[in-house]
Structure 1
Amino acid sequence: MGILNVYKNSVEYDVVFRYVKVFFKGWIYVENIKDKVYLSGASPGYQENEDLLERERNLTRGIANLRTLQLSIQSSGNPTRIQENLDLIGKQERELLDIKNQIVQHRQISQELYNEQIRAMASKENFIINNKNSLVDMFSQSLIHYKEKSSSNYEQLEIDVKEMDSFFDDLKLTKRGSSHFIIDDDNEEANSTRIRSKINKAFSSMEKDDKKELIIYLLPFGIISNIKKGHRLLLEAEDVSYKADSAMITPQANISTFIHEAGHTFNLPHTFLSRNGGWFSNGITIEQGTTDNIMDYNFSEKNNDSNPSNNVMVIRDKFALWKFQWDIMIKDPNLIEQKKK
């Protein structure tokens, strides 16, 4: 025998979803590339570093002048001077070839990064379409309706990194497998919160009215949040941003992470111990990984330590919300619109 609780609610709630494809445009450092590379954004295009082009022009003119000089000194019969001039021509020709190779490399990586951004957006659009029912089911548990601003069109935000306070001055792209990831220029962890705040700033500058919405930014590149441990950020949420709520999804995100982070935008905490040993929410003292709650993780760090006796039974399938979480969600001032039945 058990107790069955039945709740009746005369009010339903709506949350509006907006999906924003984020493209980066401008000059950016790429690992193992000497100079910054031009990132073309949402439209194909290519520019080259003007200093590099100027060096190419100067060397081309210099070699032409040296060859003209070579013709005049051939008749001098001075073998030392003739050889010195030939050596200088050879040196400058090698430098010119190196610059030409750099330009070809820059053009190739620029095209590669443009193609990667386009592929990432198409992939994430399919991801949202294919997993929308799972999101709808999550919100339905707490009588919240999932609504889209548009069922067919995704909004687009192109961020010019030059105009965004030198966005990539201390960040760069590094390649892992077939994808590029944002990291710090000193190979430290990338500050994902800073990146998200820049995106929010660019987005909010185009918005005239404040609305109750959940804004999902689709990112073209991944973010490495810990270099030493190899941790890759899948998705990050922020409570109260641009007077709505927002989250950003990297190309590596999965549906479980998406639903979990969407929960964070409703002020839902984790259901387990924080890193410093304290609890995220009073009264919640549940072992990480042991529940089917959306705000739990599907793994336990205890299972990776050197003491097998610490191991816990992990539940990987996360789909549930609990009553206290419903109460938190329907009080969210930035997302929820009440709708009388």
Structure 2
Amino acid sequence: MMSKETYVGGDIIETTGGNNLSYAKDVIENIGLQVIQDGKTNGVFYGINKDAPIISTNINLKKFLVHFRRPKNYDGKYGFDWLREEYIYPMVTVTNDNNGNPINAPTALCKNTTALKQEYLNGVVNNIKPYTINYYPAWLAIFPHTTTSQFPHGSDMHENGVNLDLQIDEIDQIISDGTEILFESQNQYLKISPKKIAISDVISSNRKSRNVNGRNINYYKLERKVNIKCTGGVLNKHEEIKVFAKLDQEKVEVGKLMVYKNNVIPKAEIVVVNVLTGGNKAQLKDDYQYLFKRQSFNQALIRAEVKVDTEFDLNKLNTNPDINNFLISVNGYSAKKKLSEIIRLYELYGKYTVPGGINSNNTHRTYLFFTSLSSGGTRGICSLNQNNVWGNSYLVFNIGLQNPRTIIHECGHSFSLPHTFEQAGNPRHVFYQGYTDAYMDYDWRQGGSPNPYSSKMYSIFKWQWEIMRNDRSLIFNY
């Protein structure tokens, strides 16, 4: 007689229609009921705390995928990036394209989805395709915690590691059958804890569902479940943490986290200049230094530090005809001209001048000018030459002084990053304006609606890390 296997609950699988009643691998103790198979007799044995052997041979590892995700309270304190589903599938209604033309249809938020997918495979040594499904790993960037002798450019920023979420996507329905999720790192400096999670811990959380491109996916989310740190040394190449599902002798790689190499930590030195032009003194956001160091460019493993905080008081120099003419005419200038004139005057009369000019290749510092001047609705502007090459300086106007995104957004331009929606100058990827949580996006959309992430735009994408790390203003020998 053919048997039929049915999931009952707990750790029990009931086989009916055959000669025996079998249990899954994990034993429920103290229930007074065990099944045994002695090679001669199948049946029910009433006993206490007797271990039941594996009876059924058709208990197979259930299929699922494991993804690393950042927790909901993420605020830029480490680099984390992954291929968002809405970037490559038409899941979000886009009202207008980047030229303002109406769309009003579900649209993938990145215009070239094939190229974007490849970004998350660049640097991956061992691509995986579990159950014939293309897998795109998330990327993590953390500073190494080292002594000076181990590595002089280490940091205590991630001394305690970072805590990440796990997202477990079902292919088969997951049951409590004794499966374990294992995490393996081959690099001695890259640590993950715990090293394994029981599947029973997974299904004890709430089962959720999401629709991806017309396909319903059931999944579990374990919040801040794993801790990852780099300690005692550096990662000389991109490293991986492999994720396996294991049941008995069956073991399948079902996930992966890529950890960005951290053996080179460039430094960005920032000169902050308060440009006084009369009226009220400009006041930059109090925690702007914290933003530079711990909520933005640290994601790209760049050590950003304010080295000079100074004033350029044009009022005290108003007897100079050049400066006096600027003070008389400045309110009629465009934002671009305001910046170019302030740079010109600072290079002539400022305290920290640069041979060859601030925006030349001689500059290994980034200049943040800020002012109480207005320029219409413009919050800030970065220098850009006729060849679409970003300069090493930018200006924050009065309405941008207290806006943390403006301070970082314009500095991102100075580190060679275009807008995420930039279409000119052969950008690496183009998204629709106002639909992402990226620093380099806008907090409003074409058509006038606000970006839903406007208060939490902390993301710098993995491919943007690489652009910034190659910027001409960075210092590598220090």
TM-score, normalised via structure 1 length: 0.54
Matched residues in 2 for 1:154 and 1:145: separation? 21
Instruction: Give the superposition deviation at 1:192.
Output: 1.4
1:284 alignment counterpart: 429
**Residue 258 (structure 1) aligned with residue 415 (structure 2):** no
Matched residues in 2 for 1:211 and 1:318: separation? 29
Instruction: Give the superposition deviation at 1:215.
Output: 0.8
- The structure richer in helix per residue is 1
Equivalent position amino acid for 1:247 in 2: Y
3-state SS of paired residue (1:141) = helix
1:323 alignment counterpart: 462
**Residue 132 (structure 1) aligned with residue 289 (structure 2):** yes
Instruction: Give the superposition deviation at 1:135.
Output: 2.0
Matched residues in 2 for 1:244 and 1:284: separation? 21
Matched residues in 2 for 1:131 and 1:314: separation? 23
3-state SS of paired residue (1:117) = coil
Asked if structure 2 preserves the Cα contact closer than 8 Å seen for 1:279 and 1:285, the reply is no
Matched residues in 1 for 2:299 and 2:432: separation? 23
3-state SS of paired residue (1:205) = helix
**Residue 314 (structure 1) aligned with residue 452 (structure 2):** yes
2:280 alignment counterpart: 117
Asked if structure 2 preserves the Cα contact closer than 8 Å seen for 1:20 and 1:157, the reply is no
**Residue 238 (structure 1) aligned with residue 397 (structure 2):** no
Instruction: Give the superposition deviation at 1:154.
Output: 2.1
Indicate the structure whose relative CO is greater, using CA pairs within 8 Å and at least 6 residues apart. 1
* Number of residue pairs the alignment of both structures matches: 206
Q: Of 302, 315, 326, which residue of structure 1 is paired with 2:447?
A: 302
Instruction: Give the superposition deviation at 1:143.
Output: 0.9
1:337 alignment counterpart: 475
Q: Of 198, 203, 214, which residue of structure 1 is paired with 2:366?
A: 214
Equivalent position amino acid for 1:218 in 2: F
Aligned in 2, Cα 1:298/1:163: closer, same or farther, shift over 3 Å? same
**Residue 167 (structure 1) aligned with residue 326 (structure 2):** yes
Equivalent position amino acid for 1:269 in 2: P
Matched residues in 2 for 1:14 and 1:7: separation? 17
2:27 alignment counterpart: none
Greater mean alpha carbon deviation, residues 257-266 or residues 243-252 = 243-252
**Residue 203 (structure 1) aligned with residue 341 (structure 2):** no
Aligned in 2, Cα 1:15/1:23: closer, same or farther, shift over 3 Å? same
Query: How much is the aligned-residue C-alpha RMSD, in angstroms?
Result: 2.9
Matched residues in 2 for 1:283 and 1:146: separation? 24
Equivalent position amino acid for 2:305 in 1: K
Query: Structure 1 unaligned runs (5+)?
Result: 25-113, 173-181, 185-189, 225-231, 305-311
Q: Deviations over 1:270-321 (max 9, x none)?
A: 111x5xxx456445232211111111112212355xxxxxxx9732221011
Matched residues in 1 for 2:391 and 2:410: separation? 15
Matched residues in 2 for 1:248 and 1:337: separation? 22
| 1:28-107 map, 5 Å | none
3-state SS of paired residue (2:375) = strand
3-state SS of paired residue (1:292) = coil
Instruction: Give the superposition deviation at 1:250.
Output: 1.3
Asked if structure 1 preserves the Cα contact closer than 8 Å seen for 2:436 and 2:451, the reply is no
TM-score, normalised via structure 2 length: 0.39
Aligned in 2, Cα 1:267/1:303: closer, same or farther, shift over 3 Å? same
Matched residues in 2 for 1:5 and 1:143: separation? 15
Q: Deviations over 1:123-176 (max 9, x none)?
A: 22xx1x3232222121111111112224xx52324263731483356x46xxxx
Equivalent position amino acid for 1:143 in 2: L
3-state SS of paired residue (1:195) = helix
Aligned in 2, Cα 1:289/1:213: closer, same or farther, shift over 3 Å? same
2:80 alignment counterpart: none
Q: What is the percent sequence identity of the aligned residues?
A: 22
Equivalent position amino acid for 2:343 in 1: N
Matched residues in 2 for 1:313 and 1:248: separation? 24
3-state SS of paired residue (1:300) = coil
3-state SS of paired residue (2:470) = coil
Q: Of 288, 296, 300, which residue of structure 2 is paired with 1:142?
A: 300
Instruction: Give the superposition deviation at 1:244.
Output: 6.6
Aligned in 2, Cα 1:313/1:258: closer, same or farther, shift over 3 Å? closer
